[in-house]
Chains A and B, each alone.
Chain A
């Protein structure tokens, strides 16, 4: 089954304690992306990756890092989490460009609470 898998689904942690949210897709998609979803602000892009070893900032990259060492994985790293990063996070993937342009497929989300 084609899917995007995020882990963990829920996490409560404290300010300053480094955490990583993993994302994996099994569709051989080149493009992967992270979003956060906040009430009244909708979905906003944090980082995206066009392919292995290629990452770029989205609209709200401050406080986040990503890496893309393998095509299927795109972890989101919070080196020193702060309460304003409490949010619902989604990972997504899609094929890229031209005739292969297609919709992004989303994971089921990770709810982070930073105390």
Chain B
């Protein structure tokens, strides 16, 4: 069935290092992908998105890479800071299916000072 999953449930990095969070998806027809950050006690917060006709998109300290050949998505965070500690979810949308958002399980990022 359709699924979006994450390779690693937890990731621990040193402050100042770069972080890479990976995600695999199974539906090649997905139109749109999003990375969310969820801090304790809060709802998922949008970080960055990418459409299926793109390979790479950059934001402030974050980059999303999309490899449609192997159905892989990654989030790169440059110069990771303690405030980046959170759970990160990838999600995909099938816009021709009522905009259904399918979430992965999440990766918990822990930043060590």
Q: Which residue of A lies closest to B104 (CB)?
A: A42
Q: Judging by beta carbons under 8 Å apart, are A101 and B101 in contact? A: no
A33 → chain B closest CB, angstroms: 7
A88 → chain B closest CB, angstroms: 9
Q: Give the size of the chain B interface in residues (CB under 8 angstroms).
A: 23
* Count of A-B contacts judged by CB separation below 8 Å: 57
Q: If the complex has contacts A50-B98, A101-B31, A103-B34, are A108 and B105 also in contact, measured as CB distance less than 8 A?
A: no
Spell out A's residues near B (CB within 8 Å).
Answer: 4, 31, 33, 40, 42-43, 45, 48, 50, 56, 58, 90, 92, 94, 96-98, 101-109
Beyond the given A101-B51, A106-B36, could you list 5 further A-B residue pairs with CB under 8 A, ordered by the A residue number?
Answer: A42-B104, A94-B99, A98-B95, A108-B41, A108-B43
Spell out B's residues near A (CB within 8 Å).
Answer: 31-32, 34, 36, 41-46, 49, 51, 89, 93, 95, 98-101, 103-106
